[in-house]
Amino acid sequence: MGEEKRWALITGASSGIGTELARVFAERGYSLLLTARREERLTALAAELRAKHGIAPETLVFDLEDPAATQALFAAVEAKGIALHTLVNNAGFGLRGRFAELPYDQQVAMVELNVSVPLKLSRLFLPGMIERRQGGILNVASTAAFQAGPKMAVYYATKAFVLSLSEALHEEVRRHGLAVTALCPGPVPTEFSERASLQMTRLVKMRFMTLSAEEVARQGVAGYERGKAIVIPGVVNKLGAWGAQIGPRAAARAIAGKLQG
């Protein structure tokens, strides 16, 4: 890449969509900062990308459910003297079950990781990007963002927040030459479904809605580099998101609830 390194920080790089996003950004010539809790996974990915692309990814181990972690992560990037080009807010998890029955602590932790972390990291890194007039943010939302989701109420609400924040920031920063993109995948086979207890749901069994993490990452990075506000990989998922917006809200949330069954 010559002297002008484009640094991308990817949260949740140890698995699934985050790992594939790291592979695509590496292919596109970015230098990488990889973060998650599982250090061995990050180290193995860094070694793979070093061998394949001749880059030297940095690994940063943080538990982002800790409310103090975002500030510490920001400070760690600053301490390396890195001017971040691209922030990828990907780390997240879901929980399936009834709101009144799911563990309180886990629901609050989900809001911390899915909502507060992208909010805080965006607020920390965006001013520098605006000043340098380059780069932007790729937020991993979900098609869950387009309607309410009975039996995954909090998860759907977190993704609605991410989509709304992304779209607003997209408008605010485009005049500075920056891109903010919300990547909204439908079902993707990753470790997500295990943690969310989704394995037996209708949604996960709907193979025609499912895309690989690699395909989702490719479309996400391509859309981000073109400065798109929203990327929804897959025709069926696009139609679903569109239907949820133009159809009756009651029908959209009823269908989402059925798919979670």
Active site includes 224? no
Tell me the β-bridge partners of 178: none
Nearer to ligand NAP, 190 or 260 (CB): 190
**Least distance between ligand NAP and beta carbon 15 (Å):** 4
Q: Specify the residue, 31 or 142, whose C-beta has the smaller distance to ligand NAP.
A: 142
Site string for ligand NAP, 75-104 (x = CB under 6 A): ---------------xxxxx----------
Is 201 one of the binding residues for ligand NAP (CB under 6 A)? Answer: no
- 57, 185, 234, 240: residue in contact with ligand NAP (rule CB under 6 A): 185
Mark whether 155 is an active-site residue: yes
Binding flag, residue 16, ligand NAP (CB under 6 A): yes
User: Which residue number, 48 or 134, has a Cβ lying nearer to ligand NAP?
Assistant: 48
Closer Cβ to ligand NAP, 136 or 234, answer by number: 234
Question: DSSP labels for 211-259?
Answer: --HHHHHHHHHHHHHTT-SEE--SHHHHHHHHHHHHS-HHHHHHHHHHH
The active-site residue, picked from 30, 120, 155, 156, is 155
Sign of the torsion angle spanned by Cα atoms 256, 91, 116, 131? negative
Q: How many residues bind ligand NAP (CB under 6 A)?
A: 30
Site residues for ligand NAP, 202-261, by CB under 6 A, read: none
Does 190 engage in binding with ligand NAP (CB under 6 A)?
A: yes
Residue of the chain from 36, 73, 77, 165 that contacts ligand NAP (CB under 6 A): 36
Among 24, 64, 152, 259, binds ligand NAP (CB under 6 A): 64
Asked if 142 interacts with ligand NAP (CB under 6 A), we say: yes
> Using CB under 6 A, which of the segments 164-172, 189-197, 226-234, 252-260 binds ligand NAP?
189-197
Please choose, out of 173-181, 191-199, 219-227, 237-245, the segment that lies near ligand NAP by the rule CB under 6 A: 191-199
70, 82, 112, 135, 175 from 127: Cα distances, Å: 15, 14, 22, 11, 14
Residue appearing with tokens 């790992």 = 19
Element (H, E) at 86: strand 84-89
Q: Is 10 helix (H, G, I), strand (E, B) or coil?
A: strand
Q: Where does residue 202 rank: exposed (0-12), middle (13-18), buried (19+ CB within 10 A)?
A: exposed
Nearest to 121 by CA among 258, 8, 5: 8
SS (H, E, C) 32-81: EEEEECCHHHHHHHHHHHHHHHCCCCEEEECCCCCCCHHHHHHHHHHHCC
Q: How many residues does the chain have?
A: 261
Per CB under 6 A, 22 contacts ligand NAP: no
Distance CA 233, CA 22 (A): 18
Active site residues: 155, 159
Residues that bind ligand NAP (CB under 6 A): 12-18, 36-38, 41, 62-65, 90-94, 113, 140, 142, 185, 187-188, 190-192, 195
